[in-house]
Amino acid sequence: MAAKKKTTKKAAKKTAKKKTTKKAVKKTAKKTTRKKAAKKKTTSAKKSDVPLVGIVGMGYVGLPLAREFCLGGAKVLGFDVNPKTVSNLNKGKSPLKHIPSSDVKEMVDTKNFKVTEKMNQLGKPDALLIAVPTPLTENREPDMQFVEKTCETISKYLRKGQLVVLESTTYPGTTKELMLPILEKSGLKAGRDFHLAYSPEREDPGNKSFRTATIPKVVGGYDKKSLDMAVEIYKYAIDTLVPVKSCEAAEAAKILENTYRCVNIAMVNELKMLFDRMGIDVWEVIHAASTKPFGYKAFYPGPGLGGHCIPIDPFYLTWKARQYGMPTRFIELAGEINTDMPHYVVMRTLEALNDHKKSLKGSKVLVLGLAYKKDIDDVRESPSLELIELLREKGARVDYNDPYIPQTHKQRDYDLQMKSKKLTPKMLQKYDAVLISTDHSEYDYNWVVENSQLVIDTRNATEKVRKGRKKIVKA
């Protein structure tokens, strides 16, 4: 794992250096020589000087973070309430497609990594990093139950000198207004007895150019001591740290990043619909605009927004803004447009079938890709789920294929009870329409188009396909 890491890190660093205009980061970031610091600590320091980092929530965020801490020479004690996650990780099995089990096994074998359900161990680590879910309630308001429960449990075992850091995405004010009073139920006082910070995770599963260690990390502390302690701890895992003056600034920075994506994606989604009416290909337009070397950043349209972050996090801010009597119009509008995209895709499918003298009702439709983005196995908030429901509502007979998701599982809003269909030329030909919802790299799009009657492409995945273009409808 170490050798592989060196090469991927080197490549990622190169890309990061080249691609980013990180003047701002350079100015404010505390560049840390992570490996050197860790090496010095592990070789010259006594074993007891190596920090024990507790990570609460061993999911998409917690596990990659744990891996980086282990690689940096720290010890990690993971906490999770899911017994299956705990037992798999302790056996060296990764629950995530993009984190190889061999990495987890190596971490376990070094004896520097263990995961437990026993929350009475929470007093042991030097720092507790919280990476539990922060979804929305049915009324689209922040659902803070996981953060609250975690803090309630921590408050029972919190000890003097410990550092508690929230990593979960949330609204500005969470650390001080919500976490601090719960943690102080322990009888200990923040700033005096224990330390508190916020440091948002910027994990991007499936991104081959960056990994947790090479993504600069923003850190805000409750006070100076808390910030300093958090920076020292994160040096074991992260190459570049970006300290800010408060927890609120760090919380707001994360929401800004996600709102920026949400709003810009909504804009290109809207332009996609307009340009389509005008007979202009939005993808060609974006490629052309992207050649401008400054002042433009490309965002791409799609079938809707997916994932645990972009469709959700901006609404944490909307909710908070209401307390200040201020509407967040950009966010609301972006939400409206993005939420409407699956309806647009279904309408385009209906029109395309109409052109083939077929009705959507009774037609067989195959949705290609269930994950919310390419090359990952995460279906949370995936627009494919909504597409399947809408198509079914209109009377279509729908199947799906996703190499990463063999079957669907019950979600908060969906219980599709479907299994991924095996792709063969014969089965493709049976469908009246094949709808590309996720542009996984594994698909051979030439082959898909060649063997399909009609292809609805929401991702421009068929851009390079030359034969059979008449069968392709962009949506």
Ligand X SMILES: NC(=O)c1ccc[n+]([C@@H]2O[C@H](COP(=O)([O-])OP(=O)(O)OC[C@H]3O[C@@H](n4cnc5c(N)ncnc54)[C@H](O)[C@@H]3O)[C@@H](O)[C@H]2O)c1
Active-site annotation, residues: 309
Instruction: Report the C-alpha gap between 323 and 170 in whole angstroms.
Output: 15
Minimum CB distance to ligand X, residue 409 (Å): 13
Residues that bind ligand X (CB under 6 A): 56-62, 79-82, 85, 131-134, 146, 149-150, 167-169, 201-203, 205, 308-309
CB closer to ligand X out of 359 and 411? 411
Q: Which of 382, 374, 257, 252 is nearest to 308 (CA)?
A: 382
- Token output for 212: 């947790």
C-alpha dihedral over 81, 87, 90, 91, to 10 degrees? -160
CB closer to ligand X out of 59 and 243? 59
- 10 Å Cβ neighbour count for 55? 26
Minimum CB distance to ligand X, residue 268 (Å): 21
Identify the DSSP state of 344.
H
CB closer to ligand X out of 58 and 237? 58
Nearest-10 crossing angle of helices 247-277, 329-355 = 30
CB closer to ligand X out of 205 and 221? 205
Minimum CB distance to ligand X, residue 96 (Å): 8
Name the strand (E) or helix (H) holding 347.
Answer: helix 329-355
Minimum CB distance to ligand X, residue 57 (Å): 3
Minimum CB distance to ligand X, residue 452 (Å): 32
CB closer to ligand X out of 168 and 438? 168
- Token output for 301: 């349209």
381, 312 contact by CB (below 8 A)? yes
Q: Which of 235, 277, 214 is nearest to 69 (CA)?
A: 235
428, 418 contact by CB (below 8 A)? no
Q: For residue 23, what are the CA distances in angstroms to 11, 112, 250, 261, 293?
A: 20, 36, 18, 20, 16
Identify the DSSP state of 106.
H
CB closer to ligand X out of 96 and 273? 96
Instruction: Report the C-alpha gap between 395 and 380 in whole angstroms.
Output: 25
Q: Are strands 127-130 and 113-116 parallel, antiparallel or unpaired?
A: unpaired
Instruction: Report the C-alpha gap between 375 and 402 in whole angstroms.
Output: 10
Name the strand (E) or helix (H) holding 32.
Answer: none
Which residue minimizes CB distance to ligand X? 59
